């Protein structure tokens, strides 16, 4: 279903019948993606139709940051409690999908300011979705703990912040180095914690962007569960913008 949406001063032509889900689903076994030294998520059956109960009734035990696609607010790094459900009040954004190959720096692989400048140029976007290379389906079931995954340099995040990016999505477990002594340079830079804090800005980690999704302009629907927490499981959905 083709439709034209008036978004600010722009008219965006999108196909609502072709949503592109870039979230990783939660699975209750060791094939689930895992980070931050956690065990696999668990499902406990309280009631089951197979056991002659009238309904299926399950309890689920998981960590939003460790077990799949999640969206977080500044409350992730502040002493004061801040809820993603309170701060994220708009859910549609003009976004750009980009693909980058992290560069070797000492013992790490990083994403630099220069790379961001090259792929974004003069484009004006509210959200950016970063797909890293190599991009295989192993990302759906990787245990990232103790692997020192690639991350964004502080300079790259400052560039994105200053360029007006409000919503940063990436297919890694964090925009920061796995072990950095608690500095969290990129998180702090993105939310501007040393200046005027960007309470409405969000970071979404552990997305998965299939290779058949092209780089370019998209209309992003960033869906979260209404958790009063610093982070929530989320379901970002893209719609390709068909007009220039």
Rounded CA-CA distance 190/194 in Å is 10
- Range 156-181 burial, b when 16+ CB lie within 10 A, else e: bbbbbbeeebbbbbbbbbbbbbbeee
Query: Tell me, what's the pLDDT at 1?
Result: 83
Query: Tell me, what's the pLDDT at 244?
Result: 79
CATH of domain 2-26+65-240: 3.50.30.50
Using an 8 Å Cβ cutoff, are 240 and 20 in contact?
yes
Below-50 pLDDT ranges, the chain: none
Burial class (CB in 10 A: 0-12, 13-18, 19+), 21: middle
Per-domain residue ranges of the chain: 2-26+65-240
Alpha carbon 123 to chain centroid, angstroms = 20
């Amino acid at each position: 279903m083709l439709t034209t949406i008036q978004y600010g001063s722009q008219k965006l032509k999108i196909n609502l019948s072709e949503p592109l889900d870039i979230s990783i689903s939660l699975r209750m076994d060791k094939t689930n993606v895992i980070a931050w030294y956690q065990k696999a998520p668990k499902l406990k059956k309280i009631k089951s139709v197979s056991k002659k109960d009238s309904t299926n009734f399950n309890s689920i035990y998981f960590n939003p940051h460790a077990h799949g696609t999640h969206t977080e607010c500044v409350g992730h790094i502040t002493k004061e409690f801040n809820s993603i459900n309170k701060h994220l009040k708009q859910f549609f954004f003009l976004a750009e999908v980009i693909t980058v190959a992290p560069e070797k720096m000492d013992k790490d692989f990083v994403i630099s300011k220069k790379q961001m400048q090259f792929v974004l140029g003069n484009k004006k976007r509210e959200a950016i979705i970063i797909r890293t290379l190599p991009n295989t389906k192993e990302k759906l079931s990787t245990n990232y703990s103790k692997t020192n995954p690639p991350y964004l340099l502080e300079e790259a995040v400052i560039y994105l912040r200053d360029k007006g990016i409000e919503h940063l999505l990436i297919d890694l477990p964090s925009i920061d180095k796995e072990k950095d002594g608690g500095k969290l340079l990129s998180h702090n830079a993105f939310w501007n914690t040393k200046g005027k804090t960007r309470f409405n800005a969000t970071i979404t980690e552990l997305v998965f962007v299939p290779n058949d999704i092209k780089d370019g302009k998209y209309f992003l629907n960033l869906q979260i569960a209404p958790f009063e927490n610093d982070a929530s499981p989320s379901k970002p959905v893209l719609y390709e913008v068909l007009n220039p």
